[in-house]
């Protein structure tokens, strides 16, 4: 087997793992952000009376951050679909039309998808920290 064939096999394995990781990441952010939002609303409503709660702004910040995590993850689904469509077009141009300009063409939708994934992670982490701060100040 040639080095090129070995590289291609390895590349395909890595791409499959990356896809699996991205899918798991998206599911985790959606599930955990939704759960975090629901649990924080429940905690605020039933555990800490509104007139006795302190640092309510940290709870509100967590809600906005959970919402931002959800929105950025959903938007990443849309940009990911656009990125895949562009990659197919690039492959057609390169492989079928022999257009060398598409060999390593940048895919802005792919870059945006990666940024949205990072933002959703940061938003989720920020929301979690805000919830912890609120709970520790009110328990």
Structural domain count of the chain? 1
- Six-digit token pair at 89? 């077009």
pLDDT in tens, 60-99: 999 999 999 999 999 999 999 999 889 889 888 888 898 9
Whole-angstrom Cα Rg for the chain: 21
69, part of any domain? yes
Give domain status of residue 59, yes or no: yes
* pLDDT confidence tier of residue 58, bands split at 50, 70 and 90: very high
CB 93 within 8 A of CB 137: no
Share of the chain above pLDDT 90, in %: 53
In a domain, 7, yes or no: no
Domain membership flag for residue 12: no
The closest of 112, 118, 127 to 80, measured between CA atoms, is 112
Residue 18 forms part of a structural domain: no
Each residue's pLDDT tens digit, 41-55 = 887 777 788 788 899
The residues near 100 (Cβ < 8 Å, ≥ 6 apart) are 94
| Inter-residue long-range contacts of 17-24, CB under 8 Å, 24+ positions, other chains counted | 22/80, 22/117
What is residue 106's predicted lDDT score, i.e. its pLDDT?
94
Return the minimum-mean-pLDDT range out of 78-82, 100-104, 105-109.
100-104
For residue 49, the SS3 value is: coil
Q: What average pLDDT score do residues 9-19 get? A: 81
Query: Do the domain assignments include residue 130?
Result: yes
Say if residue 7's pLDDT is above 80: no
Exposure string over 62-73, b if 16+ CB within 10 A, otherwise e: bbebbebbbebb
Cβ atoms of 54 and 138 within 8 Å: the answer is yes
Residue 67 lies in a domain: yes
Domain membership of residue 10 (yes or no) is no
What pLDDT does residue 59 have? 92
Distance CA 124, CA 68 (A): 8
Q: Which domain holds residue 50?
A: 25-138
For the record, the structure tokens of 65 come out as 């951050």
Q: Which parts of the chain fold into alpha helices (H)? A: 3-42, 56-91, 108-138
């Amino acid at each position: 087997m040639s080095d090129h064939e070995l590289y291609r096999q390895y590349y395909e394995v890595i791409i499959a793992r990356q896809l699996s990781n991205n899918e798991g990441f998206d599911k985790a952010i959606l599930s955990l952000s939704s759960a975090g939002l629901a649990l924080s609303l429940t905690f605020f409503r039933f555990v800490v009376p509104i007139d006795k709660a302190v640092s309510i702004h940290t709870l509100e910040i967590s809600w906005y951050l959970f919402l931002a995590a959800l929105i950025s993850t959903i938007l990443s689904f849309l940009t990911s679909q656009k990125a895949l469509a562009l990659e197919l077009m690039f492959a057609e141009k390169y492989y079928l039309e022999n257009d060398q300009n598409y060999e390593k063409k940048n895919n802005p939708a792919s870059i945006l998808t990666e940024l949205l994934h990072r933002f959703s992670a940061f938003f989720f982490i920020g929301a979690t920290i805000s919830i912890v701060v609120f709970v520790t100040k009110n328990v």
